[in-house]
């Protein structure tokens, strides 16, 4: 499996590359949007790289502090990475319109049962004018309005570090896997006929089934005062290696439901599965609840693991 590097690079790398990733200043809605987009792209790139889903040629290299980041690019020799770049661009379209509530990157093993997942990654978005707040793992830090762009960047870098740490400490995925991405929207503002580029109306049931014993991991969240991004991971408990307990937020079906991931246990012979209802949490639902609008990719893709 390809691994990311925590390399102590020279100052010339950090000064020449950091500005490519984050805007110098984060004081407007537009600057905040740029940051959130790049955090999403970096996170998805980190996940796919450290889980060994695409070849090295599908990634470019960027530096951020002492982190050597591998960023997905349009690699014509790998149709899978081309497709996932299009998914990220579809997310950008929905983000720019303030429609996107949650993007879920899911991995499953049986193409005939795409609702039965073995690992998934949640990216939740809020659009706000409130003062910035950061919640990184179990450490809560609140800042008054006017927090510096540097502090927002520091929180963003910490979020990336935590995600890298988690990815490097997870056991391997099964050999034959397929990726999909589900997009959930704020129904009160999203037109019924809206679909971002590369997506269509979801044809599968709302509920996902987790194949095995799920562990829910809260990576963290970042707020700019204009947007809030939260990152969470659900994986099979057997893939957990030696990892600090602070990363494990909740374990088991009861605790997962408290985090907006409603999880009901089912028995199918000797195989234990859990129903994952990716529902909006109570505080995020305003007024009468409309039918949930969900999109799925026009084209699914098997990971090119070579």
pLDDT for the residue numbered 204: 75
Is position 56 within any domain? no
Q: How many CB atoms lie within 10 A of CB 160?
A: 23
pLDDT for the residue numbered 106: 93
What is the number of structural domains in the chain? 1
What is the DSSP code (8-state) at residue 170?
A: B
Is position 122 within any domain? yes
Is position 22 within any domain? no
Domain of residue 204, CATH code: 3.30.900
Q: Is there a contact between 103 and 182 (Cβ–Cβ < 8 Å)?
A: yes
Q: Is there a contact between 297 and 181 (Cβ–Cβ < 8 Å)?
A: yes
d(CA 112, CA 99): 30
d(CA 129, CA 127): 7
Is position 167 within any domain? yes
173: exposed, middle or buried (C-beta count within 10 Å: 0-12, 13-18, 19+)?
A: buried
pTM above 0.75, yes or no: yes
Is position 59 within any domain? no
pLDDT for the residue numbered 250: 42
pLDDT for the residue numbered 2: 38
Is position 36 within any domain? no
139: exposed, middle or buried (C-beta count within 10 Å: 0-12, 13-18, 19+)?
A: exposed
Is position 9 within any domain? no
In order along its 306 residues, the chain shows pLDDT tens digits of 333 433 333 344 444 444 346 777 888 888 899 999 999 999 999 999 999 999 999 999 988 877 889 999 988 888 888 999 999 999 999 999 999 999 999 999 988 888 889 999 999 999 987 533 333 333 333 343 456 788 888 888 889 999 998 998 889 999 889 999 999 999 899 999 999 999 999 987 557 788 888 888 888 888 888 898 999 998 888 888 655 544 544 433 322 222 333 333 333 333 444 545 454 443 343 444 556 789 999 987 765 454
How far is C-alpha 22 from the geometric centre of its chain's CA atoms? Answer: 18
Placement of tokens 């996932």 in the chain: 84
Is position 93 within any domain? yes
Task: Give the range of the structural domain holding residue 138, as residue numbers without chain letter.
Answer: 78-148+162-302
pLDDT for the residue numbered 40: 94
């Amino acid at each position: 499996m390809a691994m990311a590097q925590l390399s102590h690079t020279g100052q010339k790398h950090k000064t020449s590359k950091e500005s490519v990733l984050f805007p110098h200043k984060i004081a407007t809605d537009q600057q905040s949007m740029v940051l959130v987009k790049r955090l999403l792209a970096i996170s998805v790139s980190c996940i796919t790289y450290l889980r060994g889903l695409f070849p090295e040629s599908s990634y470019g290299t960027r530096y951020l502090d002492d982190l050597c980041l591998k960023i997905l690019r349009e690699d014509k020799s790998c149709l899978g990475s081309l497709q996932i770049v299009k998914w990220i661009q579809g997310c950008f379209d929905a983000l720019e319109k303030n429609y996107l509530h949650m993007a879920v990157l899911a991995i499953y093993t049986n193409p005939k049962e795409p609702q039965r997942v073995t690992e998934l990654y949640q990216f939740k978005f809020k659009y706000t004018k409130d003062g910035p707040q950061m919640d990184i793992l179990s450490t809560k830090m609140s800042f008054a309005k006017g927090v510096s762009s540097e502090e927002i960047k520091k929180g963003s870098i910490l979020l990336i570090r935590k995600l890298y740490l988690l990815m490097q400490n997870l056991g391997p995925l099964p050999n034959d896997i397929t990726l999909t991405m589900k997009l959930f929207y704020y129904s009160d503002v999203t037109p019924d006929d809206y679909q971002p580029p590369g997506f269509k109306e979801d044809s599968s049931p709302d509920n996902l089934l987790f194949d095995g014993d799920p562990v829910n991991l809260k990576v963290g969240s970042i707020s700019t005062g204009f947007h809030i991004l939260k990152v969470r991971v659900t994986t099979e408990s057997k893939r957990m290696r030696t990892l600090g307990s602070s990363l494990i937020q909740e374990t088991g079906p009861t605790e997962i439901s408290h985090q907006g991931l409603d999880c009901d246990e089912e028995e199918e012979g000797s195989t234990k599965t859990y129903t994952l209802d990716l529902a909006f949490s109570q505080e995020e639902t305003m007024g009468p609840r409309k039918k949930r609008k969900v999109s799925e990719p026009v084209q699914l893709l098997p990971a090119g693991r070579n």
